[in-house]
Amino acid sequence: MLTRKELRFERRSILTAAQLRAIEKFPREFLRLMFLDFGDGIISGLDFIERDDEIFFTEGLVKLNNNFFFAQTINLSKLMAGLTEGKRYKIVLGTPQRTAAENVITEKISLEVRELKESGGLEFGRFRAGLVRLPEFNAEDLFAEFTKASRLNLLNVPYSTRGGATFHPLIFKAILSRLQRKEKPAPADFALMIQLADFGIVSLNALKVFVECKDVTWRDGSREEILQTVLAAVDKDWEIILPEKISAPEKVQQTELERGGIFIEDDDL
């Protein structure tokens, strides 16, 4: 059964409680149903950018336990400042805080910095205290670039997709750039490029199909292993195996008839 509600607002009338509940419920249910099959993580936005030598987290939408949270722009460099030099940390969501005012319940979750060994909520990057920069998406050695200590490690930042969560679009931007620089892309390379150019991300299941199409063994023990596997498939050249040359058939000696010769038999000659 399908249902659609239409609100009618009479002139100079006062909105009823039922009308207000219908207005409030529609966008929440719309988001819930639209992303029902998606995992926890970033739904939209929340990109990492550098401005004036500082790293910012842009505004966006996050799915968490079937609820949706709106994020504002955050200065991550200030969040990472003043920590013990050389120690490893991660940026995670803290404990939800709920407040109520005038019948409006507000739930806020702040980003916190914790030591890497500590448990925490949804993760938004790992780093070593000190000067931290974003990875360069066109680096020659992408795995080293996205895992080196002087970079903000984004491998475990979950980007929500159907069936779970995948890599952050910044990582896929680097993969797309590498594929576009290949001299002889394979058909599987073209398929991945089209997907990334159109949507910016692909699911981990799609990455597995891509890797196996390139005859590379899929390894998924950690996000580091997955990235290594994908990059190996990206860099693998396309080998075209030609069929063995078939020798030409022996030339059969032509008969006089086949050469166009004519034999005339005449008893009077």
Predicted pLDDT of residue 256: 52
Average of per-residue pLDDT values in the chain: 88
Domains in the chain: boundaries: 19-130
Alpha helices in 35-127 (DSSP H): 76-80
Tracing tokens 């692909």 back to the chain, one arrives at 202
The model carries a pTM of: 0.82
- Could you give the percent of the chain with pLDDT greater than 90? 65
Q: Dihedral, CA atoms, 199, 201, 206, 208, nearest 10 degrees? A: 150
Q: Are 156 and 223 in contact (CB under 8 A)?
A: yes
pLDDT at 76: 95
Q: How far apart are the C-alpha atoms of 113 and 126, rounded to whole Å?
A: 9
Please list the ranges in the chain whose pLDDT falls under 70.
Answer: 240-269
Q: Give pLDDT, residue 259.
A: 53
pLDDT for 263 = 45
For residue 269, the model assigns a pLDDT of: 46
Specify the pLDDT at position 13.
Answer: 82
